[in-house]
Amino acid sequence: MATVSPTPLLKDELDIVIPTIRNLDFLEMWRPFFQPYHLIIVQDGDPSKVIKVPEGFDYELYNRNDINKILGPKASCISFKDSACRCFGYMVSKKKYIYTIDDDCFVAKDPSGKDINALDQHIKNLLCPSTPFFFNTLYDPYRDGADFVRGYPFSLREGVHTAVSHGLWLNIPDYDAPTQLVKPLERNTRYVDAIMTIPKGSLFPMCGMNLAFNRELIGPAMYFGLMGDGQPIGRYDDMWAGWCTKVICDHLGLGVKTGLPYIWHSKASNPFVNLKKEYKGIYWQEELIPFFQSVTLPKDCTTVQKCYIEISKQVKVKLGKVDDYFNKLADAMVTWIEAWDELNPSGVKPAELPNGASK
């Protein structure tokens, strides 16, 4: 390909989902890149608080009251007082693609000093195939200036559809609490100029700060679990979604990419608070990882929903004995799928939903 074609905007096919409990001031910096798109704001915490959305953005906003009204008793699967509530936004969206970003993430600069349009890069990643079956040593072979290396089987060069694009962060790295505590001053300043497909069979820690996915291909797997208020664990919402998603993508032959784009992560959360939230997770993940590494899905699980329900059954059987929390989580996973299917009936154009403040 001699000429570089511009990335399609996809402005009518992509929603930006933002969970927030504070404010949306960060959107001002993103305005040049985000303004063409529709925003879905999921307001966590006190629903009586008014979250001001900067002028000029097209958005719909949901607070806890809206979530309860729309989902009724199924609202129990949506976390409260945790950014995990963002997955409600995925459920109510009508678009093909989702980009989700935290409200403490800003525009980063590339090594030449130019502002990085993270959304543009995510769209490129999602529209381009992935190569999970054989690792390419020059990373993304579809990128300008790169290709498949010698020895890469030609039969695998078409790649598969990309379901997830996982971006990274400069400045405050996404560390767990123990690491944060011993290295409070560490900053990520290294710009690694690569996008790569995470190979089939490999799990990874998926961070929800700068994440895009094809909702039609993998949406129902992006449940961010039961976290926050009333739950014994926090800061494992995106991890949980990532492990479920990767297992399902591997089963269905879909690709997950990681690497570019970078955003600038500005706020370091309190490591002592984080330790309390993650504390159980640090132990539980030692059980969770072997569990996800050994999950096998039967051949007749041909849709994401079927795969997800199957995983929830195995969670109950194998993880229920680790802690009763996993029994509740397994039930919530089923509730999530039921709610998803209700709001997104297949073959029927989804009806307009009653929502909170929208423009």
Partner 1 sequence: MRTPPCLLSLTLDSAVLNLSNITDLSPLPDHILIELFLRTLRAGKLTERVLKLFIATGKDEVFSLIQALNIQVTVNPVLPTSKCLPIKDDEIDIVIGALNFDLTSFMNVWRPIFSRFHLTIVKDPDLKEELKIPEGFNLDVYKEPDIDRVVGTSTSIIFSGYACRYFGYLVSRKKYIISMDDDCLPAKDNKGFLVDAVAQHITNLTTPATPFFFNTLYDHFTEGADFVRGYPFSLRNGVTCALSCGLWHNLADFDAPTQALKPEERNSLYVDAVLTVPARTLMPISGINIAFNRDLVGPALLPCFRLATEGKFRWETMEDIWSGMCVKVICDHLGLGVKTGLPYVWRNDRGDAIASLRKEWEGVKMMEEAVPFFQSVRLPQEATTAEDCVIEVANAVKEKLGSKDPVFAHTAKAMLDWVKLWKSVGGSSSSPGA
Residues that bind partner 1 (CB under 8 A): 111, 134-139, 145-156, 166, 168, 173-176, 178-179, 181-184, 186-194, 198-207, 235-236, 238-239, 242, 258, 272, 275, 278-279, 282-283, 285-286, 289
Closest to partner 1 by CB, 38 vs 200, is 200
Contacts of 224 (CB under 8 A, 6+ apart): 79, 83, 84, 85, 86, 87, 208, 237, 238, 240, 241
d(CA 255, CA 126): 9
Closest to partner 1 by CB, 51 vs 239, is 239
Closest to partner 1 by CB, 181 vs 317, is 181
Closest to partner 1 by CB, 33 vs 152, is 152
Least Cβ distance, residue 197 to partner 1 (angstroms): 10
Closest to partner 1 by CB, 73 vs 151, is 151
Least Cβ distance, residue 171 to partner 1 (angstroms): 11
Closest to partner 1 by CB, 64 vs 86, is 86
d(CA 48, CA 50): 6
Closest to partner 1 by CB, 22 vs 157, is 157
| 120-to-7, 125, 145 alpha-carbon distances in Å | 7, 9, 18
Least Cβ distance, residue 329 to partner 1 (angstroms): 16
Contacts of 84 (CB under 8 A, 6+ apart): 78, 224, 225, 226, 227, 228, 237, 238
Note whether 104 and 263 are within 8 A (CB). Answer: no
Least Cβ distance, residue 56 to partner 1 (angstroms): 34
Least Cβ distance, residue 116 to partner 1 (angstroms): 16
Half-sphere exposure of 213 (CA within 13 A, CB side): 33
Note whether 108 and 264 are within 8 A (CB). Answer: yes
d(CA 94, CA 104): 26
Least Cβ distance, residue 242 to partner 1 (angstroms): 8
Q: Which two tokens stand for residue 90?
A: 């995925």
CA atoms 7, 9, 14, 15: torsion sign: positive
d(CA 354, CA 331): 26
Least Cβ distance, residue 163 to partner 1 (angstroms): 16
